[in-house]
Structure 1
Amino acid sequence: MKQLFKLILNTIPRPLLIRLSYIAKPVLVFFLKGKKYTDPIDGKQFKSFLSYGYGQQRPNVLSPSTLSLERHRLLWLYLKRETDFFTNTKQCRKVLHFAPEQCFLKRFKALDHIDYTTTDLNSPIADVKADICNLPFSDNSYDVIFCNHVLEHIPDDTKAMQELYRVLKPGGFGIFQIPQDLTREQTFEDNSITDRKARAEIFGQYDHVRVYGRDYFDKLRSIGFKVDEVDYTSQLSEEEIDTFRLAKGEIIPVVYK
């Protein structure tokens, strides 16, 4: 099963994978139903989660029901417990969501107190087809921006960050998660590496162009953002980390303008 998932991830284009996942979810939920692990996004329980990874597979991390990974479940808990994103109904916030994740899409759309727009260059479930380096949105347009696991795909991430800063309203906030090697001080990228297999081995995925180090936060600050490096798993119990299948030490970059 692990090898099959790895083959599927590395051979089927992402837009088609998204469409096929809607068919696969009910089957996976039925066969993996149990009581050991819980997906906090929908509250469903399973005897195990699925393995996931383009290169080396991580066991027991992909929720069968929402298709959430560790980072998605961690972000959901942070938004629910530490912010007023779900509860502030006194104002209508404009929210921009890049490369919308299936686990969030319908739930965010169902919130009456947000004006929700999704965007991506290729995703079949995005509202607006747009290049993150040349966004078709006015300056200071959005109160909240979610841009998670996108920037590692973008050759000119400086331009992308500048565009994110441009369209975020003063006083607004964003969450810009990325795959990150926290043992690495400096971000590594090498445009000469074009082989898909080599990219997967070096960058973690065949369509990534860099491995971010700890300097990622300072790069965001150089654009103008204020950045909180939130180590949210340090605030959770060991039982929660295990039950929700979270990755210890993963940092949530919360940015402000």
Structure 2
Amino acid sequence: MKRLFKFILNTIPRPILIKVSFWVRPLISFILKGSTYTDPIDGKSFSSFLPYGYGSQRPNALSPSTLSLERHRLLWLYLKNETDFFTTPKKVLHIAPEQCFLKLFKQQENLDYTTADLHSPIADVKADICNLPFENNTYDVVLCNHVLEHIEDDKKAMSELFRVLKPNGMGIFQIPQELDREKTYEDFTITLPEERAKHFGQYDHVRIYGRDYFNRLRKVGFTVNEIDYSKKLTNEMVKKYCLVKGEILPVCFK
């Protein structure tokens, strides 16, 4: 199964994967029904989660029901337990919306929820993150997860996220990150997909972020809280929800 998922991820374009997943998900959820692992987003439990990864496959990474990954489940728990995201009226912008959140966020009566992306078939607005078609100081919350590693001019993209966020607004901008790496590794002369996969871990990534990622955000104006939310969860919860211990949530404020 690992080889099959690796082949699918590396050969089928993401917009097509998104469309196909709506039909495949119910069948996989039924096959893997059980009680060992639980997706906190919808509360459903399974005998196992699915493997996931463009390079080496991570076991029990992808939830069969919501298609959430470890980072999505961590973000959900943080928003639910530590913020008023689900209870207070908010104007929200979600860049490159994830399937595991889309329907649930749209159903939240307290959220004025807009999604945007240049290629995603499920986004409301077709938009370039380096030139967003929104007014200054528009949104209370901006979510943009695992996008910036695809963008060569990430400073411009960060500046746009800062521009459209309201003063005192909150942004969460997760990225794949190597915390044992002091400085971000990027080389824009590397353009072939197979070379990018070799250097950056995925065929469409242009860098590997190091610990200096947080300072990149600070340089465009954000106040950044580096939150290791897994520390607030028991080891049993980390295992049950299939999370990654030590993953940092970059929670930013304007």
Amino acid in the other structure paired with 1:55:
G
Q: What is the aligned partner in structure 1 of residue 111 from structure 2?
A: 114
Q: For 1:180 and 1:26, locate their aligned partners in 2 and report how far apart those are by CA, in whole Å.
A: 32
Q: What is the aligned partner in structure 2 of residue 66 from structure 1?
A: 66
Equivalent of 1:250, from 244, 247, 250? 247
Q: Secondary structure at the match of 1:239?
A: helix
Structure 1, unpaired ranges of 5+: none
Q: Secondary structure at the match of 1:104?
A: helix
Q: For 1:57 and 1:194, locate their aligned partners in 2 and report how far apart those are by CA, in whole Å.
A: 24
Amino acid in the other structure paired with 1:26:
P
CA RMSD of aligned residues (A): 0.7
User: Would you say 1:208 and 2:205 are equivalent positions?
Assistant: yes
Counterparts of 1:189-200 in structure 2, within 5 Å, are 189-200=186-197
User: Would you say 1:137 and 2:134 are equivalent positions?
Assistant: yes
Q: For 2:131 and 2:190, locate their aligned partners in 1 and report how far apart those are by CA, in whole Å.
A: 25
Structure 1 segments, 4+ long, off by >3 Å, are none
Q: For 2:231 and 2:197, locate their aligned partners in 1 and report how far apart those are by CA, in whole Å.
A: 30
Equivalent of 1:231, from 228, 233, 246? 228
Give the CA deviation at 1:16: 0.5
Q: Secondary structure at the match of 1:118?
A: strand
Amino acid in the other structure paired with 2:243:
L
Give the CA deviation at 1:195: 2.4
Q: What is the aligned partner in structure 2 of residue 11 from structure 1?
A: 11
Q: What is the aligned partner in structure 2 of residue 50 from structure 1?
A: 50
Q: Secondary structure at the match of 2:61?
A: strand
Q: What is the aligned partner in structure 2 of residue 29 from structure 1?
A: 29
Q: For 2:76 and 2:136, locate their aligned partners in 1 and report how far apart those are by CA, in whole Å.
A: 28
Q: For 1:183 and 1:117, locate their aligned partners in 2 and report how far apart those are by CA, in whole Å.
A: 35
Superposed CA deviations along residues 146-186 of structure 1, whole A, max 9, x for unmatched, are: 00000000010000001111100001001000000000010
Give the CA deviation at 1:93: 1.4
Q: For 1:119 and 1:63, locate their aligned partners in 2 and report how far apart those are by CA, in whole Å.
A: 24
Superposed CA deviations along residues 205-255 of structure 1, whole A, max 9, x for unmatched, are: 100000000000011001000000000001110000000000010000000
User: Would you say 1:38 and 2:38 are equivalent positions?
Assistant: yes
Q: Secondary structure at the match of 1:197?
A: helix
Q: What is the aligned partner in structure 2 of residue 105 from structure 1?
A: 102
Structure 2, unpaired ranges of 5+: none
Amino acid in the other structure paired with 1:6:
K
Q: For 1:39 and 1:7, locate their aligned partners in 2 and report how far apart those are by CA, in whole Å.
A: 25
Q: For 1:60 and 1:206, locate their aligned partners in 2 and report how far apart those are by CA, in whole Å.
A: 22
Q: What is the aligned partner in structure 2 of residue 221 from structure 1?
A: 218
Give the CA deviation at 1:191: 1.3
Give the CA deviation at 1:200: 1.5
Counterparts of 1:73-84 in structure 2, within 5 Å, are 73-84=73-84
Give the CA deviation at 1:142: 0.5
User: Would you say 1:183 and 2:201 are equivalent positions?
Assistant: no
Q: Secondary structure at the match of 2:34?
A: strand
Give the CA deviation at 1:56: 1.1
Aligned residues: 254
TM, length-normalised to structure 1: 0.98
Q: Secondary structure at the match of 2:64?
A: coil
User: Would you say 1:147 and 2:144 are equivalent positions?
Assistant: yes
TM, length-normalised to structure 2: 0.99
Give the CA deviation at 1:197: 2.1
